[in-house]
Amino acid sequence: MASNDKNAIIKNILAGILMATGLFSATVFLSNSWIKLAIVGLLVTNGILWLIFQGILRKTIKYVVLGIMIFTVSFSIFEKYTFWNAGSPPAFTPFQPGVTVSYANILNVSLTEIVQSVKNSPAFGLIGLEYPGIITFESMKLDTTFGGGSIEVLFYQKASNMGFRFVSSSGQPYRLSIFSWNGQPFSSMFPQKQTPEEILERIDSLGLRWFYNRAAEAYQNTTGKIPQVNALQISIQWENYGNYQGITLLLIGLYHSTFVNQSVFFADFQPDGTLLYLNVAP
């Protein structure tokens, strides 16, 4: 009688494990990670075999399931740590520990180095392992409108239809978040002869300071005044404007005060420095 009760308890425990695995599986299928799918498949398969077989084989399967569960927990901890500490952006300096990017250094930043710093990180290597296929650059944003500033780099993978967002703010390491992409990315809508990395190199050859000087000059020609700016937002994104389709550099000049950020101008450029438009804030 006691033996039957013991077996019933063990079966209930295993049933609970299988239920938890099923819930975990639902989340995993959304992430499309082949490693996690393989883990779930192994757990479910061996769990079912454990219920079917008896004797020595059953005991062996029990230890296999236990080993898979230990690996699952270990991998999850490793993955979470890697995604939460995904490297530091090149704009970061130990002399300013609470600053990712600032108004003082944003115009000296290399966009190519930012993307490369992400690609060289262990986190990017891990997602490349979990999601086989080409991962392409989609967009970037640099922001100095709050203390410490922030850098965001977004990538897309067509094979899994997943997005990978790397964000660093206030001197913290990049944090990686993974999400299912809704709709079609702009990069696939506007095919280019050059790769995104080659386009970023073209922007870097002119330099962000060059783009800012052109924007300030256009502002002064329009208003007759020198722009009063103490904060900047720079976005590298895909746009369809007039006859131009492709990557643009949107530079937003702002005046930052204690309680509000007031926009001064919006200047949108092609990578070769051609000004697409300038909007002057009232």
How much is the pLDDT for 135?
A: 93
pLDDT greater than 70 at residue 26? no
Give me the residue label for tokens 């990180």. Answer: 121
User: What pLDDT, on a 0 to 100 scale, did the predictor assign at position 259?
Assistant: 75
**Domains in the chain: boundaries:** 2-84, 106-280
Q: What is the pLDDT of residue 23?
A: 47
The more confidently predicted of residues 257 and 219 is 219
Q: Are the C-beta atoms of residues 164 and 176 closer than 8 Å to each other?
A: yes
End-to-end CA distance of the chain: 85
Number of H helices, E strands in the chain: 8, 8
Packed helices 122-130 and 55-84: angle between N→C axes, nearest 10 degrees: 140
